[in-house]
Amino acid sequence: MFHSFSHFAKLLSGSSNSSKSFEIAPLPHYYHQVAVSIMSQTHPPDISAVTSSVTNVFSTEKLDEESMYRLPTWGIIVMIIGYIFVFLFGVVGNCSVLIVVAKLHRMRTVTNFFICNLALADLLVLLFCLLPNLISNIFVPWILGWFLCKTVPYIQGVSVCASVYSLVAISMERCISIQWPFQYQITKRKGKKIMVAIWIWSCSVAVPWVLYFDTYKADLEHPDIDFCIEKWPESYGNWSRYYFLIGNFIICYVLPLSIIFVCYLTIWFRVYRRPVPNDSNHKSMEIMHQKAKTAVMKMLLVVVLIFALSWLPLYCITLKMKFGSETRSDWENEIISFIYPIAQWLGCFNSGINPVVYSFLNKKFRHGFYMIFKCSWNQDPIPVMRAHKSPTVNILLRRMAVYKVRSSMCNESDDV
């Protein structure tokens, strides 16, 4: 069933002595929703030249069904299992995060609001982009139509940008609350405004994907074969490269991670290098407080580290595609075609792993997840209350039960 990805690229690249060579790139843009991109040695690609080249090749080469697949059978099976794993863990976990914060009043802190914002961005990726990602890793042509060609890259671009800037908001909120605990505080109202600003900013950054992605037919003799191509106006020259470098790599990766690093470094100098009081009572309280802060910081740092490592391979491959040599050898194409699906899966994996981090490193979230799966909110904590005929007594008993449940969950030392 399998022909290598470079084999299909050769079919569409035309003869070697042509004036321009075209190549099927496995990663034409950062959010990698395109199954195929045709790229010439000049950017952006000349669609008319591509069509002419494809027509010439198809007239002499037989394009069999096996050439339409990126991976062998075993690779497709592994990829499907991996994506199902990410989908199940991600959807259940991120929904659980939203429910925990919504159900428990004490969990509605500014930091947790930003964590919910991160969970919402991850859910967008899982619900709207995961299946197209999987399909684009299986099939070489783009089979999902014009609408998804434009919307899927845009949604994932918005979601990833919102995710990383939610992490920035968390780090800045922690830094401000520790560095200036009395002068400046991010209230819940300000936090909600920041969340809205994050989404507006993310939607703005990803606008070019809606404008410059479109589907193109392979040629007139093969009208069923579509390519989803990032094509910028010719007058823009190399703006496709510069947009990725500035709009994606710097604005959505390097800059936010740098801000996060500075914030956490400031927190470390402020909190962890602060001398412990000599008084025994104050000393024990200070140690407990430090442990709570350490647990919270450990969780947040792990989330940031996972985000950085999950997206780093994809950024490296894209930088190679955008700014590397425009003519690659067969072995380079083979390596990229092998690494690309793994890097793409890692990016999706990031959307499903955060709730697992919360459950392992934060007691409140862990208890909240436990109560969700035990359906404690749907069960009556005091069954005997149904025997009371007085509505007032029933209301009082219910309030007491809810108070006990909330108190048991919120009586932890780590303040998130």
pLDDT given at position 283: 59
In angstroms, rounded to a whole number, what is the distance separating the alpha carbons of residues 175 and 264? Answer: 7
Under 8 Å between Cβ of 125 and 159: yes
Under 8 Å between Cβ of 195 and 114: yes
Under 8 Å between Cβ of 358 and 365: yes
Predicted structure pTM score: 0.72
**Hunting for tokens 């405004």 — which residue is that?**
193
Longest dimension (CA), the chain: 92
In angstroms, rounded to a whole number, what is the distance separating the alpha carbons of residues 392 and 299? Answer: 43
pLDDT given at position 220: 59
Residue 275 phi, psi dihedral angles, 5° rounding: -65, 145
> For the residues of 251-298, what is the DSSP string, one character each?
IIIIHHHHHHHHHHHHHIIIIITSPPPSSHHHHHHHHHHHHHHHHHHH
Burial track 250-289 (b if 16+ CB lie within 10 A, e otherwise): ebbbeebbebbeebbebbeeebeeeeeeeeeeeeeeeeee
pLDDT given at position 66: 60
Sign, CA torsion 90/91/94/100: negative
pLDDT given at position 80: 92
Under 8 Å between Cβ of 192 and 117: no
- Amino acid found at 60: T
pLDDT given at position 8: 41
Strand partners for 215: 228
pLDDT (tens place) for every residue of the chain, 416 residues total: 333 333 444 444 443 333 333 333 333 333 333 333 333 333 334 444 444 444 444 444 445 566 677 778 888 899 999 999 999 989 988 998 999 888 888 888 898 999 999 999 999 989 988 888 888 888 878 888 889 888 888 998 999 899 999 999 998 988 888 888 777 788 889 999 999 999 999 999 989 888 888 888 766 566 677 878 778 777 777 777 778 778 888 898 999 999 998 988 888 887 766 665 555 555 566 666 666 666 767 777 888 898 889 989 988 888 887 776 666 667 777 777 778 888 888 988 888 888 888 777 777 888 877 777 775 555 444 344 444 444 554 555 555 554 444 444 444 434 45
The pair of structure tokens assigned to 404 is 């006990």
Strand partners for 230: 213
In angstroms, rounded to a whole number, what is the distance separating the alpha carbons of residues 162 and 122? Answer: 9
pLDDT given at position 113: 92
**Cβ atoms within 10 Å, residue 415:** 14
Residue 225 phi, psi dihedral angles, 5° rounding: -100, 115
- Amino acid found at 39: M
